[in-house]
């Protein structure tokens, strides 16, 4: 299975399945203000990661203009459609809510 991108509640989520390690990755990418200092972006990511356990947030060194949110869903003997849809709904709801709550410096575009 290749990557699948779904738009839900105005959030584009990419699903990636790694069959070797039995994990499904949910990932969303958001733009960050180019002019903002990297220290401010890292402080924002730290606030998100300290307060939200469902997803992990990062700013890549090679693309400091991006905020990446991801969540890994394990599966062993397969995965039900219900599990995938449920995780997708949670991810698409919680990630933008957390960004809105903790983006006190208005970094996300």
Q: Please indicate, yes or no, if residue 108 is contained in any of the structural domains.
A: no
d(C-alpha 5, C-alpha 72), whole Å: 15
Q: Please indicate, yes or no, if residue 93 is contained in any of the structural domains.
A: yes
pTM more than 0.75: yes
Query: Domain limits at 67?
Result: 4-102
Contact 23, 102 (CB under 8 A): no
Per-residue pLDDT tens digits of the chain, which is 109 residues long: 679 999 998 999 999 999 999 999 999 999 999 999 999 999 999 999 999 999 999 999 999 999 999 999 999 988 999 999 999 999 999 999 999 999 999 999 9
Q: Please indicate, yes or no, if residue 12 is contained in any of the structural domains.
A: yes
Q: Please indicate, yes or no, if residue 23 is contained in any of the structural domains.
A: yes
Q: Please indicate, yes or no, if residue 61 is contained in any of the structural domains.
A: yes
What is the number of structural domains in the chain?
1
d(C-alpha 109, C-alpha 107), whole Å: 6
Q: Please indicate, yes or no, if residue 43 is contained in any of the structural domains.
A: yes
Q: Please indicate, yes or no, if residue 9 is contained in any of the structural domains.
A: yes
d(C-alpha 70, C-alpha 56), whole Å: 5
CA nearest to 71, candidates 34, 16, 9: 16
CATH number at residue 59: 3.30.1460.10
């Amino acid at each position: 299975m290749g990557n699948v991108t779904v738009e839900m509640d105005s959030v584009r989520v990419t699903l990636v399945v790694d069959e070797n390690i039995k994990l499904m990755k949910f990932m969303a990418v958001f733009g960050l203000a180019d002019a903002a200092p990297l220290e401010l972006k890292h402080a924002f990511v730290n606030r998100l990661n300290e307060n939200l356990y469902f997803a992990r947030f990062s700013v890549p060194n090679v693309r400091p203009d991006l905020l990446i949110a991801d969540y890994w869903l394990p599966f062993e003997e397969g995965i039900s459609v219900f599990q995938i849809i449920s995780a997708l709904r949670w991810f698409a709801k919680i990630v933008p809510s957390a960004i809105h709550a903790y983006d006190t410096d208005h970094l996300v575009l």
